[in-house]
Amino acid sequence: MKILITGGAGFIGSHLAQRLLDDGEDVIVLDNLSTGCQDNISRLEGRKGFECVVGSVRDQSLVYELVEQCDNTIHLAAAVGVKLVLDRPSHSIHTNVNGTENVLHAAAVQKKLVFIASSSEVYGKSAQPSFNETDDLILGSTSNLRWSYAIAKALDECLALAYNQENRVPVIVGRLFNTTGPRQTGRYGMVLPGFVTQALQDQPITVYGTGEQSRCFAHVYDIVESIVRLINKPEAVGQVFNIGNDEEISINDLAEFVRDATGSQSEIQKLAYGDVYAAGFEEMQRRKPSLSKLEKTIGYRPRTPLAKIVDDVIEEKRAALNLL
């Protein structure tokens, strides 16, 4: 089987490409290398069945050509990270929506399977103790561009499910919750690699807001395993799944955990959102997924403990900083 991964030179995409090649699949990676990078896939170059195409998911003719060559498409390409979205909101909207439309339009011709990567951001400001796939979405005002990513991802989901209903395109939507692990950069506001890098250099560990907001962090290996299982489950087609870990921790506790795990002398420094982002920035206080639907469908759920996730990120960052 040949599988196209859009955004395949990115953090998640590169791990997924490696896993699929190990499983004996052929893989084509499409990436414009704006947030992904060649280093992520350098170990895959030269492997039988691997091809990397440098190009944009917004290039309709290119996407059509690549989807036509492949049996399945895993669509990960997106503008990601709060900082990037706020710095370039129109670019983010166009990339996320136009790219998804191009993939679905190409897949519709031959009814090829498409996995669409969505985000826990679509739940918006919901105060639910944990999020279920059928819960209502509570998004902020369009005048606050902080919510543009969530709105674009919700539209991606609607497009996918509409293509499934109207054109019988086999689609699966996965809402990813705070995926982290080796190869993730803190450059676009990703919290764990940012904390680890600061701690290893004995710089202040910067916590935004009160730090009482909580998150659930999933190891990228668990996310890859979930996606691989989903695309091989016919009963998953036409459905939406939460994909993440449900081990919850406050950002304050995460900062202390990272400091202890690295043996760092860093102080923990609080920064108001207004000092980092545009005025009016709003944050979700909790993001805990319900995983019962995922586990029931694929017989698996992400369970890697936070301690193991943090250790893996520390090991990689130590090597990158020549601190081994």
Kindly give the interhelix angle for 251-262 and 306-320, rounded to the nearest 10 degrees.
Answer: 60
Largest Cα separation within the chain, whole Å, is 58
User: What is the residue-wise DSSP string for 158-170?
Assistant: HHHHHHHHHH---
pLDDT(88) > 90: no
CA dist., res. 312 & res. 159, Å (int): 36
What percentage of the chain carries pLDDT values higher than 70? 96
Q: What is the mean pLDDT of residues 7-30?
A: 97
pLDDT of residue 83: 65
pLDDT of residue 185: 85
pLDDT of residue 242: 98
* Range in 24-28, 80-84, 167-171 with the lowest mean pLDDT: 80-84
What does each C-alpha distance from 5 to 15, 214, 299 come to in angstroms? 11, 31, 24
Q: What is the mean pLDDT of residues 181-206?
A: 91
Task: Identify the band that residue 93 occupies on the pLDDT scale cut at 50, 70 and 90.
Answer: confident
Question: What does the pLDDT look like over 129-138, one tens digit per residue?
Answer: 899 999 999 9
Q: Active site includes 208?
A: no
pLDDT of residue 324: 56
pLDDT of residue 50: 98
Share the mean pLDDT of the chain: 93
Q: What is the mean pLDDT of residues 37-42?
A: 93
Question: What does the pLDDT look like over 51-77, one tens digit per residue?
Answer: 999 999 999 999 999 999 999 999 999
Task: Identify the band that residue 240 occupies on the pLDDT scale cut at 50, 70 and 90.
Answer: very high
Query: What structural domains does the chain harbor?
Result: 2-180+218-246+284-303 (3.40.50.720)
What does each C-alpha distance from 96 to 57, 231, 316 come to in angstroms? 9, 21, 29
Given 149, 208, 221, 277, which residue is catalytic? Answer: 149
What does each C-alpha distance from 268 to 190, 204, 223, 309 come to in angstroms? 17, 6, 30, 21
